[in-house]
Amino acid sequence: MNKARHFEEGTFSIKEKDYLNELQIKENTIKEINSQFNPLYKKIDKQNDRLSYKDSIINNSLKIIKEAKTEINRLNLKLQNSKNSKKELQLEIKKTYQDYIFKMDNLENQIKDKNELINEKQNLLEKGNKELKQLTNKIQELKTKNTNDKKIISEMDDKLKQSKNSLITENDKFQKEINDKENTIHHNSKR
Protein backbone atom coordinates (compact mmCIF):
# COMPACT_ATOMS: atom_id res chain seq x y z
CA MET A 1 0.00 0.00 0.00
CA ASN A 2 2.86 2.37 0.90
CA LYS A 3 4.55 1.58 -2.44
CA ALA A 4 1.38 2.54 -4.31
CA ARG A 5 1.08 5.76 -2.32
CA HIS A 6 4.77 6.67 -2.91
CA PHE A 7 4.40 5.85 -6.62
CA GLU A 8 1.31 8.05 -6.93
CA GLU A 9 2.96 10.92 -4.99
CA GLY A 10 6.09 10.64 -7.16
CA THR A 11 4.04 10.69 -10.36
CA PHE A 12 2.09 13.78 -9.29
CA SER A 13 5.31 15.42 -8.05
CA ILE A 14 7.04 14.88 -11.44
CA LYS A 15 4.00 16.23 -13.34
CA GLU A 16 3.84 19.22 -11.03
CA LYS A 17 7.57 19.92 -11.61
CA ASP A 18 7.05 19.59 -15.38
CA TYR A 19 4.19 22.12 -15.25
CA LEU A 20 6.26 24.49 -13.09
CA ASN A 21 9.19 24.22 -15.53
CA GLU A 22 6.86 24.91 -18.44
CA LEU A 23 5.45 27.94 -16.60
CA GLN A 24 8.98 29.26 -15.96
CA ILE A 25 9.85 28.87 -19.66
CA LYS A 26 6.71 30.83 -20.62
CA GLU A 27 7.51 33.59 -18.12
CA ASN A 28 11.04 33.84 -19.57
CA THR A 29 9.53 34.08 -23.08
CA ILE A 30 7.28 36.91 -21.90
CA LYS A 31 10.29 38.76 -20.42
CA GLU A 32 12.20 38.31 -23.67
CA ILE A 33 9.29 39.69 -25.72
CA ASN A 34 9.00 42.67 -23.33
CA SER A 35 12.72 43.39 -23.81
CA GLN A 36 12.07 43.57 -27.58
CA PHE A 37 9.59 46.42 -27.01
CA ASN A 38 12.27 48.83 -25.74
CA PRO A 39 14.04 49.31 -29.13
CA LEU A 40 10.66 49.92 -30.77
CA TYR A 41 9.87 52.68 -28.28
CA LYS A 42 13.30 54.24 -28.96
CA LYS A 43 12.56 54.16 -32.70
CA ILE A 44 9.26 55.95 -32.06
CA ASP A 45 11.08 58.65 -30.06
CA LYS A 46 13.58 59.15 -32.92
CA GLN A 47 10.68 59.45 -35.38
CA ASN A 48 9.11 62.15 -33.22
CA ASP A 49 12.42 64.05 -33.11
CA ARG A 50 12.65 63.97 -36.90
CA LEU A 51 9.08 65.18 -37.26
CA SER A 52 9.90 68.07 -34.92
CA TYR A 53 12.90 68.88 -37.09
CA LYS A 54 10.67 69.03 -40.20
CA ASP A 55 8.31 71.41 -38.40
CA SER A 56 11.30 73.56 -37.50
CA ILE A 57 12.40 73.74 -41.16
CA ILE A 58 8.88 74.69 -42.27
CA ASN A 59 8.67 77.40 -39.59
CA ASN A 60 12.08 78.75 -40.64
CA SER A 61 10.99 78.86 -44.28
CA LEU A 62 7.84 80.75 -43.34
CA LYS A 63 9.95 83.22 -41.36
CA ILE A 64 12.30 83.73 -44.33
CA ILE A 65 9.33 84.24 -46.65
CA LYS A 66 7.87 86.82 -44.29
CA GLU A 67 11.22 88.62 -44.00
CA ALA A 68 11.64 88.63 -47.79
CA LYS A 69 8.14 90.02 -48.33
CA THR A 70 8.80 92.73 -45.73
CA GLU A 71 12.07 93.63 -47.45
CA ILE A 72 10.40 93.72 -50.88
CA ASN A 73 7.64 95.94 -49.53
CA ARG A 74 10.21 98.24 -47.94
CA LEU A 75 12.13 98.45 -51.18
CA ASN A 76 8.97 99.08 -53.18
CA LEU A 77 8.12 101.92 -50.80
CA LYS A 78 11.64 103.29 -51.13
CA LEU A 79 11.33 103.06 -54.91
CA GLN A 80 8.13 105.03 -54.90
CA ASN A 81 9.66 107.72 -52.69
CA SER A 82 12.85 108.15 -54.63
CA LYS A 83 12.96 108.65 -58.40
CA ASN A 84 16.73 109.21 -58.40
CA SER A 85 17.60 105.78 -57.10
CA LYS A 86 15.04 103.88 -59.12
CA LYS A 87 17.59 101.73 -60.97
CA GLU A 88 19.56 101.08 -57.80
CA LEU A 89 16.41 100.09 -55.98
CA GLN A 90 15.31 97.86 -58.83
CA LEU A 91 18.67 96.09 -58.69
CA GLU A 92 18.35 95.76 -54.93
CA ILE A 93 14.81 94.38 -55.32
CA LYS A 94 16.02 91.97 -57.99
CA LYS A 95 18.91 90.87 -55.78
CA THR A 96 16.57 90.49 -52.80
CA TYR A 97 14.17 88.50 -54.94
CA GLN A 98 16.99 86.26 -56.22
CA ASP A 99 18.19 85.74 -52.64
CA TYR A 100 14.65 84.90 -51.65
CA ILE A 101 14.36 82.38 -54.55
CA PHE A 102 17.74 80.86 -53.66
CA LYS A 103 16.76 80.46 -50.00
CA MET A 104 13.40 79.00 -51.00
CA ASP A 105 15.07 76.50 -53.35
CA ASN A 106 17.44 75.46 -50.57
CA LEU A 107 14.55 75.10 -48.13
CA GLU A 108 12.54 73.14 -50.67
CA ASN A 109 15.46 70.74 -51.19
CA GLN A 110 15.94 70.36 -47.44
CA ILE A 111 12.21 69.71 -47.00
CA LYS A 112 12.27 67.10 -49.79
CA ASP A 113 15.26 65.39 -48.19
CA LYS A 114 13.61 65.47 -44.79
CA ASN A 115 10.29 64.27 -46.26
CA GLU A 116 12.05 61.26 -47.77
CA LEU A 117 13.73 60.55 -44.46
CA ILE A 118 10.45 61.03 -42.60
CA ASN A 119 8.61 58.73 -45.04
CA GLU A 120 11.29 56.10 -44.57
CA LYS A 121 11.10 56.43 -40.80
CA GLN A 122 7.31 56.43 -40.93
CA ASN A 123 7.43 53.11 -42.80
CA LEU A 124 9.78 51.76 -40.14
CA LEU A 125 7.44 53.06 -37.46
CA GLU A 126 4.44 51.37 -39.09
CA LYS A 127 6.42 48.14 -39.34
CA GLY A 128 7.45 48.53 -35.69
CA ASN A 129 3.83 49.16 -34.70
CA LYS A 130 2.78 45.97 -36.51
CA GLU A 131 5.52 44.04 -34.71
CA LEU A 132 4.51 45.63 -31.43
CA LYS A 133 0.88 44.59 -32.01
CA GLN A 134 1.94 41.04 -32.88
CA LEU A 135 4.13 40.84 -29.78
CA THR A 136 1.32 42.23 -27.62
CA ASN A 137 -1.03 39.57 -29.00
CA LYS A 138 1.59 36.88 -28.38
CA ILE A 139 2.05 38.07 -24.78
CA GLN A 140 -1.72 38.00 -24.26
CA GLU A 141 -1.86 34.44 -25.62
CA LEU A 142 1.00 33.40 -23.35
CA LYS A 143 -0.65 35.04 -20.33
CA THR A 144 -3.91 33.24 -21.10
CA LYS A 145 -2.10 29.90 -21.51
CA ASN A 146 -0.14 30.59 -18.32
CA THR A 147 -3.41 31.21 -16.42
CA ASN A 148 -4.88 27.99 -17.83
CA ASP A 149 -1.76 26.03 -16.84
CA LYS A 150 -1.91 27.42 -13.30
CA LYS A 151 -5.58 26.38 -13.12
CA ILE A 152 -4.69 22.83 -14.28
CA ILE A 153 -1.88 22.62 -11.70
CA SER A 154 -4.28 23.80 -9.00
CA GLU A 155 -6.85 21.16 -10.03
CA MET A 156 -4.17 18.45 -10.06
CA ASP A 157 -2.94 19.60 -6.67
CA ASP A 158 -6.52 19.35 -5.32
CA LYS A 159 -6.85 15.83 -6.80
CA LEU A 160 -3.52 14.87 -5.23
CA LYS A 161 -4.68 16.10 -1.83
CA GLN A 162 -7.97 14.19 -2.21
CA SER A 163 -6.03 11.09 -3.23
CA LYS A 164 -3.71 11.46 -0.23
CA ASN A 165 -6.70 11.87 2.10
CA SER A 166 -8.37 8.82 0.54
CA LEU A 167 -5.18 6.76 0.94
CA ILE A 168 -4.80 7.87 4.56
CA THR A 169 -8.44 6.95 5.27
CA GLU A 170 -8.01 3.56 3.56
CA ASN A 171 -4.73 3.01 5.41
CA ASP A 172 -6.40 3.88 8.75
CA LYS A 173 -9.26 1.43 7.99
CA PHE A 174 -6.79 -1.26 7.01
CA GLN A 175 -4.69 -0.61 10.14
CA LYS A 176 -7.85 -0.80 12.30
CA GLU A 177 -8.81 -4.13 10.69
CA ILE A 178 -5.30 -5.47 11.31
CA ASN A 179 -5.43 -4.29 14.92
CA ASP A 180 -8.88 -5.86 15.34
CA LYS A 181 -7.64 -9.17 13.88
CA GLU A 182 -4.52 -9.07 16.05
CA ASN A 183 -6.67 -8.41 19.10
CA THR A 184 -8.96 -11.29 18.11
CA ILE A 185 -5.97 -13.61 17.51
CA HIS A 186 -4.36 -12.48 20.72
CA HIS A 187 -7.63 -12.91 22.57
CA ASN A 188 -8.20 -16.42 21.06
CA SER A 189 -4.62 -17.50 21.79
CA LYS A 190 -5.10 -16.71 25.50
CA ARG A 191 -8.01 -19.13 25.74
* 43-47, 123-127, 134-138: least confident range: 43-47
What's residue 168's pLDDT?
Answer: 80
Q: Mean of the per-residue pLDDT values for the chain?
A: 79
Residue 191 reports pLDDT greater than 70: no
- Measured between alpha carbons, how far is 63 from 53 in angstroms, rounded to an integer? 15
Q: How confident is the model over 5-51, as pLDDT tens digits?
A: 554 555 556 677 777 788 888 888 877 777 776 676 677 777 777 77
Average pLDDT over residues 45-58: 77
**Average confidence (pLDDT) over 88-94:** 79
Q: Where are the chain's structural domains?
A: 2-165
Confidence of residue 159 (pLDDT cuts 50, 70, 90): confident
Per-residue buried b or exposed e for 127-161, using 16+ beta carbons within 10 Å of the residue's own CB: ebeeebeeeeeeeeeeeeebeeeeeebeeeeeebe
pLDDT of residue 39: 72
94 or 36: whose pLDDT is higher?
A: 94
Q: What percent of the chain has pLDDT over 70?
A: 85
Residues 6 or more apart whose Cβ sits within 8 Å of residue 116? none
